[in-house]
């Protein structure tokens, strides 16, 4: 809608049609739970590393879906694998296992560059 006064700034616009979802689809094939996240934020609220490193399972999953791989890999490096997020997830997602799978898939991919 032209002239209405609202538009996305280019820096925050994400064209999902052009995002390469190959790795995210592979993650969901191995860990279908990744698709069950409803972004409630309970994991981030209880995360041991959140205040220290900004780690957030919710943001990691959303960023991977949006093709922001570097940010996710950097964020996940702050995870201490304590498992608190797994205990509070209302969707019963084994977030710790999802994190480990993300590390395995995406860090391997980063290493190829």
d(CA 36, CA 92): 9
Report the site for ligand SF4 in 35-74 (rule: CB under 6 A).
37-43, 47-49, 55, 57-58
CB of 90 to ligand SF4, least distance (A): 6
* Contact with ligand SF4 (CB under 6 A) among 23, 84, 97, 105: 84
SS3 assignment, position 77? coil
d(CA 83, CA 29): 22
Question: In the complex, which residues of this chain contact ligand SF4 (CB under 6 A)?
Answer: 37-43, 47-49, 55, 57-58, 79-85, 89-91, 93, 95-96
């Amino acid at each position: 809608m032209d002239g209405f006064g609202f538009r996305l700034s280019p820096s925050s616009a994400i064209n999902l049609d052009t995002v390469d979802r190959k790795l995210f689809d592979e993650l969901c094939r191995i860990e279908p739970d990744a698709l069950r996240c409803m972004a409630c934020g309970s994991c981030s609220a209880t995360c041991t590393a959140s205040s220290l490193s900004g780690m957030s399972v919710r943001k990691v999953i959303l960023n991977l879906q949006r093709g922001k791989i570097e940010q996710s890999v950097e964020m996940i490096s702050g995870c201490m694998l304590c498992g608190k997020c797994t205990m509070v997830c209302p969707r019963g997602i084994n977030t710790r296992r999802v994190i480990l799978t993300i590390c395995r898939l995406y860090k391997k991919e980063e290493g190829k560059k």
